[in-house]
Amino acid sequence: MTGIALLLDLLKRTQGTSSSPVAISLHSYGLFSAGAAASAAAAYIAASRPFTSTAVFRYGRIPVAYCDAGETAAWNESYIPSLRSATENTLNDESIKYKIKEYPIELRPLFSAFQLKSLALTSLRSFLLFFLPLLEPRHPTEDDDDLLQDVPEERRVDLVVPFQNTIKQIIRETSIVTIRRVLERLAVHHCSQRTAWKLLKDVSKSAKRKAERDMPAYVFFVRVSRTTFRGHALGVVASWIVQIIIEFYRYCVRKPNSDNENLSRAEKIRLFRNKVYSTTVKCTSSLIFASIGAGIGALLHPSIGQWIGSALGDFAGPIIAIVAFEKLQIEL
């Protein structure tokens, strides 16, 4: 800008002191305008410096050209927003309603089944399962009435067998939970983060989040059932593994007793194969009916209803499978 002004001043002085016909003709016809002077100044600056890319790096900045030589350029903040204002406008945009979906994975302790609270609940449930039937009153029959009249002694209750069954049930449930924790760690290390999150997430909390999205009832039922199927799969697989180990020990490892002492090795293998098939059918039906029951229960209450429906379906699934196979006259 300063060079252009000096050049114009020099031309005016030359016009006053010189009588060159070229200068007079240029002034008389007005052909030497401000735009021509700007072009001449730009050509002079370009000629005085080498036409290489080092000009940009040597002077430390990229040159900016202005379209009007008589005006000074100024930044219009309303027209060119700053980086901070652009970022704030982007973050405050109402079109962005949902954040990027995250997949938090929370692994429970490996031996969580042996913690005080979990072990106490498992023991209480096992004792009630095998000792409550002993408290049921037995209605005497006609033969019992005759015997009671002759022998007024009280009938003794055997507590050894229920106690043994209770201990076996506690070992079985703690083994299932521990194997499930192992399977969860295998899923985290060998599956994608998204798949592992679907297998490990809390199904009741997921059903509660789905209920807040105001989706149709049938869509809600399908999605809760699908989520329950995924979240319940590792537990069913762990139960299947424990049951197969028990059956393998019963038919292939344990010493012969009065029940299987006369069985051949091929017969034992056949019985073990049938037990594997039966256990697979029962576990599969348990998983399917638990998912269906969770979807139905979630329609009544997203969290508690889902949990109750899943538990009822898990219990009723094997029973329904046994009844169905009996109706079809298929050995299970």
Q: What is the largest CA-CA distance in the chain?
A: 159
113 and 63, same domain (yes or no)? no
CA 166/CA 123 separation, integer angstroms: 8
What angle, 0 to 180 degrees and rounded to 10, lies between the N-to-C axes of helices 160-190 and 116-131?
140
In a domain, 97, yes or no: no
Percent of the chain with pLDDT over 70: 60
111 and 223, same domain (yes or no)? no
Structural domain ending residue among the three candidates 184, 200, 216: 200
Q: With bands split at pLDDT 50, 70 and 90, how would you rate the model's confidence at 159?
A: confident
Computed over every residue of the chain, the mean pLDDT equals 74
The answer to whether 3 and 41 have CB atoms below 8 angstroms apart is yes
In a domain, 98, yes or no: no
Contacts of 232 (CB under 8 A, 6+ apart): 203, 287, 290, 291, 310, 314
Q: Which of the pair, 307 or 6, is modelled with greater confidence?
A: 307
The answer to whether 228 and 260 have CB atoms below 8 angstroms apart is no
For 255, the token pair is: 């010493």
Closest CA to 196 of 60, 286, 263, 105: 105
Whether residue 40 is predicted with pLDDT greater than 60 in this model: the reply is: no
Whether residue 304 is predicted with pLDDT greater than 70 in this model: the reply is: yes
CA 316/CA 306 separation, integer angstroms: 15
139 and 260, same domain (yes or no)? no
Structural domain ending residue among the three candidates 91, 115, 136: 91
Whether residue 314 is predicted with pLDDT greater than 50 in this model: the reply is: yes
In a domain, 99, yes or no: no
185 and 291, same domain (yes or no)? no
Q: Which of the pair, 264 or 87, is modelled with greater confidence?
A: 264
For 187, the token pair is: 């899923």
Query: Could you give the residue ranges of the DSSP H alpha helices within the chain?
Result: 2-17, 21-29, 34-48, 54-58, 83-91, 116-131, 142-150, 160-190, 193-200, 203-211, 217-248, 265-300, 304-327
Give the per-residue pLDDT at 326.
87
Rounded mean pLDDT, 168-194: 93
Give the per-residue pLDDT at 12.
60
228 and 315, same domain (yes or no)? yes
85 and 27, same domain (yes or no)? yes
216 and 196, same domain (yes or no)? no
Structural domain ending residue among the three candidates 142, 175, 200: 200
194 and 216, same domain (yes or no)? no
In a domain, 303, yes or no: yes
Give the per-residue pLDDT at 216.
92
In a domain, 77, yes or no: yes
Give the per-residue pLDDT at 9.
65
In a domain, 230, yes or no: yes
Instruction: Give the tens place of pLDDT for each residue, 104-156.
Output: 787 888 898 899 999 999 999 999 888 887 776 665 555 555 545 554 455 67
Give the per-residue pLDDT at 67.
43
What is the number of residues in the chain? 332
**DSSP 8-state class, residue 216:** -
178 and 226, same domain (yes or no)? no
Give the per-residue pLDDT at 158.
76
In a domain, 217, yes or no: yes
264 and 307, same domain (yes or no)? yes
211 and 224, same domain (yes or no)? yes
Q: With bands split at pLDDT 50, 70 and 90, how would you rate the model's confidence at 83?
A: very low
Give the per-residue pLDDT at 327.
87
Q: Which of the pair, 315 or 46, is modelled with greater confidence?
A: 315
227 and 109, same domain (yes or no)? no
pTM of the prediction?
0.64
Query: Which range of residues forms the domain containing residue 79?
Result: 2-91
Q: With bands split at pLDDT 50, 70 and 90, how would you rate the model's confidence at 50?
A: very low
Whether residue 82 is predicted with pLDDT greater than 90 in this model: the reply is: no
Instruction: Give the tens place of pLDDT for each residue, 224-273.
Output: 999 999 999 999 999 999 999 999 988 888 776 655 556 778 888 888 99
Number of structural domains found in the chain = 3
Q: Exposed/middle/buried for 330, CB within 10 Å: 0-12, 13-18, 19+?
A: exposed
Whether residue 60 is predicted with pLDDT greater than 50 in this model: the reply is: no
In a domain, 96, yes or no: no
